[in-house]
Chain A
Amino acid sequence: MRIYETTFVINPQTDDSTIDKHVKDVQEIIASSNGKIIHESAMGTRRLAYEIKGLTQGYYASFLYEAESDVLGKLDRHFKINEAYIRDLTIRIEADPEDVIKQIDPFGKHGSGRDNDNDDNSSNRRGHSRDSSRDDDKKEEAKAEAPAEEKPAEKAVEAEEKTEEAPAESADSSDSSDEKKEL
């Protein structure tokens, strides 16, 4: 028995029940190999960083589980046969699963989170305010699990980062605006 994490992307251009079925199929395959799911997360529909098969969005879901190694072949076959899956990745987790769960996606707790995150890729670095709000979410989660010693440290990091990046960023933004003019 080994711990694996499988993440896959489903074509979102179907109804929700079909997507749920695709997710459930994967779950059943894992169960068929004596699998025990440790953590599951649905990141929902989000924008793809690059186009795949003409699609710009994908529905992300992920399972962290312990199973026999024959599950890998079964999953691979399943993903290859079914065209609804546009990407899949299974990795062996060698770290402590507790650590992994702690870092797992911040959207996981807020339900399916579909259509939440669509225009996030548009701005590269200027989304500081948005990021910080998300940081807060994360901090709250962290508080529930661990003592809150992280908070000042992280703030310091953020501040340091800002000072470091400030000149570069301004240069970047001027660059990009120049570019837009050219276009």
Chain B
Amino acid sequence: MAVVRGKKICRFCENKINYINYKDERILKRFTNERGKIIPRRVTGNCAMHQRKLTTAIKRGRVLAIVAFESESYR
């Protein structure tokens, strides 16, 4: 039973965001999973340009301890 979904739209394009703020924890968190990994754009539907910018922003945020490099270790 396949779930049919419409084409995903890049949320940054939709809201006309040209610059992704690496200090905005809310945005960075939204695009990382619980372990702190960056969610691939095949899942989020971001366009290539914004995924690139987002990746840079998340990595900058990690340096500044705004988002974690990794969290919640599983055993």
Q: Which residues of A are in contact with B by a Cβ distance under 8 Å? A: 7, 9, 43, 48-50, 52, 58, 60, 62, 87, 89, 91, 95-96, 99-100, 102-106, 120, 124-125, 131, 134, 150, 153-154, 157, 172
B68 at the interface (CB under 8 A from A): yes
Dominant SS among interface residues on chain A: mixed
Is A134 in contact with B26, judged by CB distance below 8 angstroms? yes
- How many A-B residue pairs have C-beta atoms within 8 angstroms? Tell me: 63
Residues of B within 8 A of A124 (CB): 29, 34
In this complex, what residue of A is CB-closest to B56?
A91
Known contacts being A124-B34, A153-B14, A157-B14, is A100 close to B19, with CB within 8 Å?
yes
State the CA gap A43–B26 with chains docked (Å): 14
Contact of A103 (CB < 8 Å), options: B20, B25, B68, B69: B20
Within the complex, what minimum Cβ distance (angstroms) separates B19 from chain A?
A: 4
A62 to B17, CA, bound (A): 21
Residues of A within 8 A of B65 (CB): 9, 48-50, 52, 58, 87
The reply to whether A120 and B25 contact each other, CB–CB distance below 8 Å, is yes
Residues from chain B with Cβ under 8 Å of A9 in the complex: 64-65
Docked-complex contact A49 and B14, CB < 8 angstroms: no
* Binary contact readout B10-47 vs A (1 if CB under 8 angstroms, 0 otherwise): 01001101111101111001000010000000000000
Nearest chain B CB to A159's CB is how many angstroms away?
Answer: 12
CB <8 Å contact, B29 and A7: no
Which residues of chain B come closer than 8 Å to A91, judged between CB atoms? 60
Q: Choose one: B23, B24, B34, B68; the contact of A49 (CB below 8 Å).
A: B68
Q: Are B19 and A95 in contact (CB under 8 A)?
A: yes
- Ordered by A's residue number, 7 sampled pairs between the chains whose C-beta atoms are within 8 Å are A7-B64, A91-B60, A96-B19, A103-B19, A103-B24, A131-B26, A150-B15
B21–chain A nearest beta-carbon distance, Å: 4
CB distance from A169 to the nearest CB of B (A): 10
Q: Is the CB of B63 within 8 A of A87?
A: yes
Q: Is B21 a contact of A103 with CB atoms below 8 Å?
A: yes
B54 within 8 A of A: no
Q: How far is the CB of A84 from chain B (nearest CB, A)?
A: 16
Q: What are the nearest 4 A-B pairs in CB distance?
A: A48-B65, A49-B68, A103-B21, A99-B19
